[in-house]
Structure 1
Amino acid sequence: MSKRPNFLFFITDQQRADWLGCYGHPVLKTPNIDAIAGQGTRFENFHTASPVCMPNRASLLTGRYPTLHGLRYNGCVLPETANTFVDVLAGAGYHTAAIGKSHLQPFTGMAPMGKTMDQIADMSEAWKLERPVDYEEEPAQYTQDDRYAIKTPYYGYQHVDMVTSHGDRCGGHYHQWFRQAAPNWKALHDPANQLPHTYSCPQAYRTPIPEDLYPTAYVRDRAIDYLTSREDEDAPFFAFVSFPDPHHPFNPPGKYWDMYSPEDFEVALPYEAHQNPTPPMQWLRKNWEEGGGQTTPQTAMMLDDHQIKEAMALTAGMMAFVDDAVGDVMAALESSGQRDNTVVCYNADHGDYMGDFNMMLKGALPFNGITRVPFIWSDPETAGGDTSDALCSTVDLSATILDRAGLAPFNGNQGQSFLQATRGGEGPRSEALIEYNDGGNRLGFESPARVRSLITDRWRYTVYRDQDWGELYDLKEDPRETHNLWQSADHGHIRAHLSERLTHHLIAQMDDSPQADRIA
């Protein structure tokens, strides 16, 4: 293959690895995504750099951990001065496009937890910060009828079709288009017009918005438009196609609402399955028993089995729509004549507890339901249908994509190319670091949680700042993470070894960029 490859990168929001047919889900059918896996390599041990949206998405683009790239927790912003692998591709002649959810900047105008906007305006910082004059993802930019022109390049993207937020009322360019496509858009967004249903799980909402006006359809159609526009172009492309689903609220439209039934699912890992629940798990349980509710709509919660099964059924409906959309985009790629020179990837930004220990959503507890995500690499240069057990991280994606394009990462990239693992070889990692930083006090923590985990092929070791407890799980003997060995005298030497290894990873969180340009 003489031409440089195109890249078509699909990514979903809040989808755990085992929620695909090709990853063994017993109920959910995803034939189109499975077909990509059948033509490529499916990774069984792929983990996020951080199990929440914004920090992990920034790690994907920069190849750096949140500690270094600066988008440490949801609500921060990736500095406009940050270099990205998309910048490198664009500089080498690639045409670059972001279609759908970006989430590198806040997409609300709301103050963070525990603060007011006046406090934010008056707050002094350790650094003289240079923030964007206008946030490109903020709702105020999309209130006019004329399409808002995002200043490009946007973190390296030359073409941007922005979708912000979640559910059936997304913002950005989608919202501008929606207002034009649906003259009755205000009625469609009015909660009073929710279609009748019998679901009781929190954030279950039966949207009156038809399928062809739902955000998944918009992302699908704009991706098809983009691929069609590149048919006769000489420059290779990188297209980042980002679906806001299956992130809650649980509101699949049209036929996807009742495509699956709660009775189809089971809660295979109830709270009682954990032998020694950690303090935050105990807090969540007590909060649920006392009817405490959520701190915010994004905060982890516990539900009863029936409500979890309802959430599973609706999540499956949202995933079915995404799978259909992926199939349509892949058909357009084939029709454009570009499939034979396009590397296709499928990924998610993080997972969801989705009933594990009766928990839902995501949070400070880094169980593999939220840290382990699907990753599929389908390359025309390699045979398909393979599975890799190589340990990989989101921070490795930029180095791998650039390696495949024949380009070198910029100085300061922390990722390691796993291109050889996509071809049946070994991966470069034996350990992966996972960071989590909260933006407020939740789950019983007296201050915002600061959590660091080290993953190996055998162990998950997790330390919580200023806590006298932690987590140690034997992933070989206890893959469902039901027995915390932190207090086990028989595993003290394992804790000591992993503590030392984690220390080395934390030492490595020193920024090597910029390089010195003089001898002192």
Structure 2
Amino acid sequence: MSRKPNILFIITDQQRADWLGCYGHPVLKTPNIDSLAATGTRFDEFHVASPVCMPNRASLMTGRYPSVHGLRYNGCLLPKNSVTFVDVLAEAGYHTAGIGKSHLQPFTGIASEPRVADDELGYYKEARNTDSASYDIEETAHLETGLSHAVPELPYYGFEQLNLLTGHGFKSGGHYTQWLLQQDPDGLELLKPGNQLPHNYSCPQATRLPIPEELYPTTYVKQKALNYLDSRQGRDEPFFAFVSFNDPHHPFNPPGRYWDQYKPAEFTLPPDYEQLVNPIPPMQRAREEYLSGQPPKTMETVFMASPDQIREAMALTAGMISMIDDAVGEIIDKLKATGQYDNTVIIFTSDHGDFLGDHSLMLKGAIPYRGITRVPFIWSDPLNRNAGSCSSLASTVDIAPSLIRRAQSKPYWGIQGRDITPLVMNEPAAGREQLLVEYEDGMVRFGFDQPAMVRSLLSKDHRLTLYKGQPFGELYNLSDDPFESHNRFDDTDYRAVKASLTESLAQQMMHAMETSPRASRRA
């Protein structure tokens, strides 16, 4: 058996696929990630299992859909008894490290929006008894104790070493806060929006923090990754390093020179709301709320913005991505300098995308336009450092079984993704013809009259989306309408296509149903 490879897994937060140079962005400069793509396979149709942080990160870790692993929407949690591919790698002899954002448990102790009052329930509040494990590990207060690094009980979902970064922008915390205070005892003042530097941007959540580049969260993740790679030099034991940046997720606050690196006027806007034909009622209501000046429900809620505001957000997002690109370059240089590059698989991806102006929208939400479901995915492997691209559909749930195979291990029962390593190695393989995307919300917002539950079927040519309890839906012909502007859901000319896709969606949902545990007896 050949030597097991190291695996360096780099993930960003809220980055759509077309916001990299190697994916064709005309303005954004990402030379280091582009160089990575030039030594590996770039997947052009890689989509998330759910277009929101926590559910999709849990799908990445487990290879299972949110409806099955249980972390269905932000604020839920991944049960401690869940098996992750990191568990498999650790059992197979890998040293495993989580560096940066995890978000498998909630960041805050803020109560969720109740769907039913406790006094309407009996003694037993849930269909499943909750276990006795602690699920407040990623809350800021549990990671910041004096100047010491509070460490959760290890292993943590398979990770034997942790350097946690929680939150985003001025809300960044976790072990990062302790590192920040060690660098500068007054460092927390640099994260306060009230201390921001003057600027002329009107985009919501554009915040020019006074924090220097060397103290920004991206630098923390980079530095911890560099330290980890130094510590693994000369070891026989292979490593798995999960290097997770919390940018370019909003708020829009690139530090130092990255704030001014791009100008709003450089960016071209995608089709706006006015180009939509037959938009669903929540989009219409969201538009009415925007025009009336009604603010979004929370800082995390999708909102509409003006063309100038969208261009501003684009420029600041590009600055955050360029800072990450510089960090990626240093990390890969460290791999080479320590003699580990030639035996290291390097993967780059993101947990979900961002509307970034699609149909006048910002952030992400219940309507699964391609801007939030399609993410970058690059696999550079020492067995095939040749540049290539893959047009096959692939999903976040495919990552776990693929890394398990590449680590020369075997999968567990109940894993739902497909092994995509043959596509990386240019071996004959049948790619996906269709894939499932799930979404569930924990509150009523963004023009919906109930918490949205959404199921979508993606194929090369179409997207079909159904909304629980709603008479409306979406159907787009992606071949003729790549920006998803003309909703054909009620178009009589598309009845046959709609019926066929609806049946396919039902099949995909059945494939995504729970199969674990296996029966131990016949009856």
TM-score by length of 1: 0.97
SS of equivalent to 2:169: coil
- Give 1:405 shift: 1.5
Cα 1:293–1:37 change in 2 (3 A) is same
SS of equivalent to 1:347: strand
Partners of 2:350 and 2:78 in 1: CA distance: 19
- Give 1:131 shift: 5.1
SS of equivalent to 1:461: strand
Q: 1:365 matched to which residue of 2? A: 367
Question: In structure 2, which of residues 434, 439, 443 is the aligned counterpart of residue 431 of structure 1?
Answer: 434
Q: 1:161 matched to which residue of 2? A: 163
Confirm or deny that 1:505 pairs with 2:512.
Answer: no
Runs of 4+ in 1 over 6 A off after TM superposition: 115-123
Partners of 2:501 and 2:213 in 1: CA distance: 49
SS of equivalent to 2:279: coil
Confirm or deny that 1:207 pairs with 2:209.
Answer: yes
Question: In structure 1, which of residues 484, 487, 492 is the aligned counterpart of residue 495 of structure 2?
Answer: 492
Q: After superposition, what is the alpha-carbon deviation per residue over 1:408-464, rounded to whole angstroms, capped at 9, x for unaligned? A: 110000011011111224443111100000000012222100000011111111000
Q: After superposition, what is the alpha-carbon deviation per residue over 1:194-225, rounded to whole angstroms, capped at 9, x for unaligned? A: 11100100000001111010000000000000
Q: 1:388 matched to which residue of 2? A: 390
Q: 2:334 matched to which residue of 1? A: 332
Question: In structure 2, which of residues 341, 344, 347 is the aligned counterpart of residue 345 of structure 1?
Answer: 347
SS of equivalent to 2:355: coil
Q: After superposition, what is the alpha-carbon deviation per residue over 1:371-416, rounded to whole angstroms, capped at 9, x for unaligned? A: 0000000011114210110100000000111111221110000011
Question: In structure 2, which of residues 240, 246, 249 is the aligned counterpart of residue 247 of structure 1?
Answer: 249
SS of equivalent to 2:149: coil
Q: 2:151 matched to which residue of 1? A: 149
Cα 1:131–1:489 change in 2 (3 A) is farther
Q: After superposition, what is the alpha-carbon deviation per residue over 1:315-364, rounded to whole angstroms, capped at 9, x for unaligned? A: 00000100000001011111110100101000000000000011000000
Cα 1:499–1:27 change in 2 (3 A) is same
Partners of 1:56 and 1:332 in 2: CA distance: 29
Partners of 1:261 and 1:120 in 2: CA distance: 54
Partners of 1:325 and 1:371 in 2: CA distance: 25
Partners of 2:403 and 2:378 in 1: CA distance: 13
| 8 Å Cα contact 1:416/1:428 also seen in 2 | no
Q: 1:219 matched to which residue of 2? A: 221
| 8 Å Cα contact 1:257/1:317 also seen in 2 | yes
Partners of 2:477 and 2:414 in 1: CA distance: 33
Partners of 1:247 and 1:117 in 2: CA distance: 33
Cα 1:115–1:212 change in 2 (3 A) is farther
Partners of 1:395 and 1:455 in 2: CA distance: 15
Show structure 1 runs of 5+ residues with no match: none
> Aligned pair count?
520
Q: 1:57 matched to which residue of 2? A: 57
Q: 1:416 matched to which residue of 2? A: 418
Partners of 1:501 and 1:377 in 2: CA distance: 29
Q: 2:284 matched to which residue of 1? A: 282
| 8 Å Cα contact 2:68/2:513 also seen in 1 | yes
Q: 2:446 matched to which residue of 1? A: 443
Give the RMSD, CA atoms, in angstroms.
1.7
SS of equivalent to 1:44: strand
Question: In structure 1, which of residues 167, 170, 173 is the aligned counterpart of residue 172 of structure 2?
Answer: 170
| 8 Å Cα contact 2:416/2:512 also seen in 1 | no
Confirm or deny that 1:377 pairs with 2:379.
Answer: yes
The percentage of aligned residue pairs carrying the same residue is 53
| 8 Å Cα contact 1:391/1:427 also seen in 2 | no
Q: 1:130 matched to which residue of 2? A: 131
SS of equivalent to 1:162: strand
Cα 1:515–1:177 change in 2 (3 A) is same
Matching residue's letter, 1:50 = S
Partners of 1:387 and 1:367 in 2: CA distance: 23
Q: 2:30 matched to which residue of 1? A: 30
Q: 1:107 matched to which residue of 2? A: 107
- Give 1:180 shift: 1.9
Matching residue's letter, 2:98 = A
Partners of 1:120 and 1:493 in 2: CA distance: 45
| 8 Å Cα contact 1:59/1:395 also seen in 2 | yes
- Give 1:143 shift: 3.0
Q: 1:97 matched to which residue of 2? A: 97
Partners of 1:131 and 1:322 in 2: CA distance: 38
Matching residue's letter, 1:289 = L
Matching residue's letter, 2:17 = A
Partners of 2:120 and 2:10 in 1: CA distance: 35
SS of equivalent to 2:163: strand
Confirm or deny that 1:461 pairs with 2:464.
Answer: yes
| 8 Å Cα contact 1:111/1:117 also seen in 2 | no
Partners of 2:497 and 2:108 in 1: CA distance: 44
| 8 Å Cα contact 1:107/1:138 also seen in 2 | yes
| 8 Å Cα contact 1:110/1:117 also seen in 2 | no
Partners of 1:153 and 1:67 in 2: CA distance: 25
Matching residue's letter, 1:339 = Y
Partners of 1:396 and 1:119 in 2: CA distance: 42
Show structure 2 runs of 5+ residues with no match: none
Partners of 1:223 and 1:305 in 2: CA distance: 38
| 8 Å Cα contact 1:392/1:427 also seen in 2 | no
Cα 1:148–1:119 change in 2 (3 A) is farther
| 8 Å Cα contact 1:66/1:435 also seen in 2 | yes
Partners of 1:259 and 1:124 in 2: CA distance: 52
Q: 2:73 matched to which residue of 1? A: 73
- Give 1:117 shift: 11
Matching residue's letter, 1:395 = V
| 8 Å Cα contact 1:111/1:120 also seen in 2 | no
| 8 Å Cα contact 2:273/2:359 also seen in 1 | yes
| 8 Å Cα contact 1:168/1:214 also seen in 2 | no
Matching residue's letter, 2:479 = K
SS of equivalent to 1:387: strand
Partners of 2:460 and 2:192 in 1: CA distance: 49
Q: 1:41 matched to which residue of 2? A: 41
Confirm or deny that 1:471 pairs with 2:474.
Answer: yes
SS of equivalent to 2:490: coil
Matching residue's letter, 1:231 = Q
Confirm or deny that 1:514 pairs with 2:514.
Answer: no
Partners of 2:489 and 2:118 in 1: CA distance: 43
- Give 1:139 shift: 1.2
Confirm or deny that 1:259 pairs with 2:261.
Answer: yes
Partners of 2:249 and 2:385 in 1: CA distance: 33
Q: 1:237 matched to which residue of 2? A: 239
Cα 1:326–1:383 change in 2 (3 A) is closer
